[in-house]
C-alpha cells in the first residue's frame, strides 16, 4: 500500500502530555498511525472510513473523523493541525 506504521499500542500514552488517555494507550490494535505519500494516505483513509469496527479515521487533508453514532465530521483545531503527516485509525471495541 505504500504506507508504514509510525505508531501503535503504547501503554500509558496521553494526548499532548495533558493527561487525557490516547487511543494508543488502551490495548494492542486499538489505534494505529500510518504514513506514506499523500496519495497513499488519502486512498487508505477513504478505504477504511466506514468499515465495520473502525471508530475514527483522522487525516487532515480530507478533514474527516468518525464519531460513535456513525456520522463523519470535520476535523478542527489541534486535532487537525496534528494529522497532516499521517493517518490515524482507531477501532471500536
pLDDT digits (tens, 9 = 90+) for 46-62: 888 878 888 888 888 88
Domain assignments of the chain as residue spans, ordered by start:
3-91
Quote the pLDDT of residue 79. Answer: 79
> What does pTM read for this prediction?
0.75
The answer to whether residues 53 and 92 touch, using CB atoms and an 8 Å cutoff, is: yes
Whole-angstrom Cα distance, residue 82 to residue 7? 14
Strands 72-73 and 87-91: unpaired
Of the candidates 75, 86, 93, 73, the residue with the CA atom closest to the CA atom of residue 27: 93
Amino acid at each position: 500500500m505504500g504506507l508504514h506504521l509510525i505508531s501503535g499500542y503504547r501503554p500509558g500514552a496521553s494526548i499532548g502530555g495533558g493527561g487525557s488517555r490516547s487511543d494508543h494507550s488502551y490495548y494492542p490494535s486499538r489505534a494505529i498511525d500510518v504514513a506514506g505519500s499523500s496519495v497513499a494516505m488519502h486512498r487508505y483513509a477513504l478505504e477504511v472510513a466506514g468499515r465495520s469496527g473502525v471508530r475514527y479515521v483522522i487525516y487532515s487533508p480530507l478533514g474527516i473523523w468518525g464519531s460513535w453514532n456513525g456520522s463523519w465530521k470535520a476535523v478542527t483545531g489541534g486535532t487537525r493541525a496534528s494529522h497532516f503527516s499521517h493517518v490515524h485509525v482507531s477501532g471500536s471495541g
